[in-house]
Amino acid sequence: MNTLLKNAIWILVAILGAAAVGGIAINRGESINSLWFVVAALCVYSLAYRFYAAWIAATVLTVDATRATPAERLENGHDFAPTNRWIVFGHHFAAIAGPGPLVGPTLAAQFGYLPGTLWILIGSVLGGCVQDMSILFFSTRRNGRSIGQMARDELGPLGGTAALIGTFAIMIILIAVLSLIVVNAMKHSPWATFTVSATIPIAMFIGIYMRYLRPGQVMEASAIGVALLLLFVVAGGWVDHNEMLRGWFDHDGLTLAWGIMLYGLAAAILPVWLLLAPRDYLSTYMKLGTITLLAVAIVILQPSVKMPAVTQFIDGTGPIFGGKLFPFVFITIACGAISGFHALIASGTTPKLLANERDIRMIGYGGMALESMVAIMAMVAATVLDPGVFFAINSPAGIVGKEAVDAVAKISGWGFPVTVEQMRLLAEQMGETTLFARTGGAPSLAVGMASIFGSAFGNSLLALWYHFAIMFEAIFILTTLDAGTRVGRFMLQDMLGNIWPKMAETSWLPSMLLSSCLVVAGWGYFLYIGVIDPNGGVNILWPLFGMANQMLAAIALCVGTGILVKSDKIRYVGVTALPLLWLIIVTTTAAWQKLTSSDLRIGFMAAAEDLQAKLASGALPAEKAAVAPQLIFNLHLDALLTLFFIGILWLIVFDMLRVCVRYLNGQPVLPLTETPHSPSRFVEDWVRD
């Protein structure tokens, strides 16, 4: 009877899920209730978790609850420590959830809500969650080794090097595009600039508080920090209304870009306790708090999604980024569907905390499903805006024109009516002078969130909510930026150490300064080009980031596939090989188009040639001609980078295939590095259900 009831419940969930997905897929009305998105997502995740993830855990990976985990065998009180699974889940989720799942879906909303939503749902349950869970499992079976080490141990030195270089490259592109988004949100916005700048001294104060004033009182210090942050969101409004003060914080994009580079350099050099660690606490609380608030608001208020299911921009003419639905929606939404970066977390800290292998499904699969849910909410927040408003905020000036009148005329001409008056009123409500051409997703998400929160708590607070949302996104973008710059510095020091061993001493000042400057120069260059690019820069950088992230995911899935084959589980190899195949197809197609397309907004080489020709014939206005040589150089560099990413991707795929073929032919390959079974002490304490 009990089984019958359980089955009935799962059948109901399946029917409900199918109805919700079908509902959002075939709806062609004016608008659709956003609750359908939440219901569809929850049903898809719970079905996949209950059946697919359970099957993978039991049959494909053969999770063994009686086996001692590294945390138990190597317990040392620091990094190896058996931990309650909910706590591990919290750590893991806080580590994997960054700004990526908020930005990608917002940009991809230019295709309409449907393509992005379907890819987030399908990509996560069949790809991203599987990747996170299997890498977490394989790393747990290998004493918590990193993905790079596992690639070296299981496939060979090529795989290890590819993973290392790939991680470094993705870090540079990621930081550049994220800081560009912050710059676009802060340019000529004294309120946003003031609030975001204030997070730096607040973090430093909290750092000193935690280290010296009240050592180790983490919760207390964080509470003070969060209160200060909220206070400074309000204070930003006063600054905005003060003629003298607002001048101090009213800057153009380039000045802000230099400021962010200086900040990145400082963060890489200053001790972690002063800036990095306290900022991370604050951003983690803000992140978890705001995401929860957004979820509650969406469930209670059920705002209407006004974006059409599919827009005409699937033909590749979209204003935010050029390129057809296939393959670009799969490149634009990486985090939230499948994110290679997660493999670094799932193979680093998390496996050292697992108390039991049983928890792998919940933490690996469940953690990614939750991040995917965040992406769905970002999609909802972006698509509850009037489509005209959405495009007015996100379209760069180079596409729709610098003047408001031109921009609204062009956008309305696409069939998404919007007026200058409407945008002026909206900007005024949000406490901004203008919302046009704030490309990158953060501002439109903030407007979306502000309007959702505003309808719950009253419209008089719209400006506050908007700047709260901007601060919330900026603070954890900056956290990714400073943590990433620092990690990049260590990786570079390590690499340079191969040439000159002295460079590998991480605390040697000249090495520290040189490598920090190199890393900042790396992403600073792309940020600078992104700011001077009249087409907004995001349209170039985000696809590059997407390709890099998918490449890292492909490396992780190659490691997984190789291990499955070597473990004589070729029957189940499709679990990792099919998502891998899909990633190879989309990434290669996207790279191919980026290199060879004759469409100026897609092909790097075509754009470079076009600009060269215009420059030579004198057809460019003076201000564009001044930056044209830099843009041309950058387009060539981007083409090279694309070739590089795709080259690494294919190298590792062939390396993996080589290992698999050799194994299947009975030729010698590197042995499996799984640690031998040793029984868990904890097992006697519980009875298997």
Partner 1 sequence: MLAKLTTLWQGLRQLSGDDAYERYLHHYAQHHADSGEAPLTKAAFFKQWQDKKWQGINRCC
Among 20, 96, 172, 186, binds partner 1 (CB under 8 A): 96
Q: Is 87 in the site for partner 1 (CB under 8 A)?
A: yes
What does the radius of gyration of the chain's CA atoms come to, in whole angstroms?
A: 25
Q: Is 80 in the site for partner 1 (CB under 8 A)?
A: no
Q: Is 78 in the site for partner 1 (CB under 8 A)?
A: yes
DSSP 285-311: HHHHHHHHHHHHHHHHH-PEE-S-SS-
Residue 49 in tokens: 């978790």
Question: Least CB distance from residue 264 to partner 1, whole Å?
Answer: 14
Q: Is 86 in the site for partner 1 (CB under 8 A)?
A: yes
Residue 169 in tokens: 């490259």
Quick one: residue 568, left, alpha or beta (phi over 0 = left, psi -120 to 50 = alpha)?
left
Distance CA 69, CA 65 (A): 9
Residue 265 in tokens: 């350099």
- Beta strands 304-305 and 32-33 are antiparallel
- Evaluate whether 334 touches 100 at the Cβ level (below 8 Å): yes
Amino acid, single-letter form, for residue 469 = A
CA dihedral 537, 540, 545, 546 (to 10 degrees): 130
Nearer to partner 1, 9 or 87 (CB): 87
Question: Of 522-561, which residues contact partner 1 (CB under 8 A)?
Answer: 549
Quick one: residue 536, left, alpha or beta (phi over 0 = left, psi -120 to 50 = alpha)?
left
Q: Is 373 in the site for partner 1 (CB under 8 A)?
A: no
Question: Least CB distance from residue 309 to partner 1, whole Å?
Answer: 28
Q: Token pair 């996949």 is at which residue? A: 48
Among 18, 49, 66, 90, binds partner 1 (CB under 8 A): 90
Q: Is 7 in the site for partner 1 (CB under 8 A)?
A: no
Quick one: residue 339, left, alpha or beta (phi over 0 = left, psi -120 to 50 = alpha)?
beta
Amino acid, single-letter form, for residue 279 = R
Question: Of 165-184, which residues contact partner 1 (CB under 8 A)?
Answer: 167, 174, 178
Among 19, 158, 188, 211, binds partner 1 (CB under 8 A): 211
Residue 613 in tokens: 């020709």
Q: How far is CA 192 from the centre of its chain?
A: 22
**Whose CA is closest to 321, among 142, 540, 92, 66?**
540
Q: Is 205 in the site for partner 1 (CB under 8 A)?
A: no
Distance CA 298, CA 448 (A): 11
Binding mask 338-367 for partner 1 (x = CB under 8 A): -x-xx-xx--xx------------------
Nearer to partner 1, 102 or 130 (CB): 102
Strand-pairing partners, residue 354, are 83
Q: Is 479 in the site for partner 1 (CB under 8 A)?
A: yes
Distance CA 247, CA 250 (A): 5
Among 95, 229, 469, 540, binds partner 1 (CB under 8 A): 95
Nearer to partner 1, 91 or 324 (CB): 91
Question: Least CB distance from residue 207 to partner 1, whole Å?
Answer: 9
Q: Is 289 in the site for partner 1 (CB under 8 A)?
A: no
Among 2, 5, 29, 77, binds partner 1 (CB under 8 A): 77
Phi, then psi, of 670 in degrees rounded to 5: -60, 135
Q: Is 607 in the site for partner 1 (CB under 8 A)?
A: no
Nearer to partner 1, 271 or 458 (CB): 271
Question: Least CB distance from residue 177 to partner 1, whole Å?
Answer: 9
Phi, then psi, of 550 in degrees rounded to 5: -65, -35
Among 484, 560, 562, 603, binds partner 1 (CB under 8 A): 484
Among 70, 82, 100, 454, binds partner 1 (CB under 8 A): 100
Q: Is 229 in the site for partner 1 (CB under 8 A)?
A: no
Q: Is 60 in the site for partner 1 (CB under 8 A)?
A: no
Q: Is 217 in the site for partner 1 (CB under 8 A)?
A: yes
Q: Is 286 in the site for partner 1 (CB under 8 A)?
A: no
* Residues found near partner 1 in the complex (CB under 8 A): 75, 77-79, 81, 83-84, 86-87, 90-91, 94-100, 167, 174, 178, 210-212, 215-219, 222, 272-273, 276-277, 280-281, 335, 339, 341-342, 344-345, 348-349, 479-480, 483-484, 486-487, 490, 549
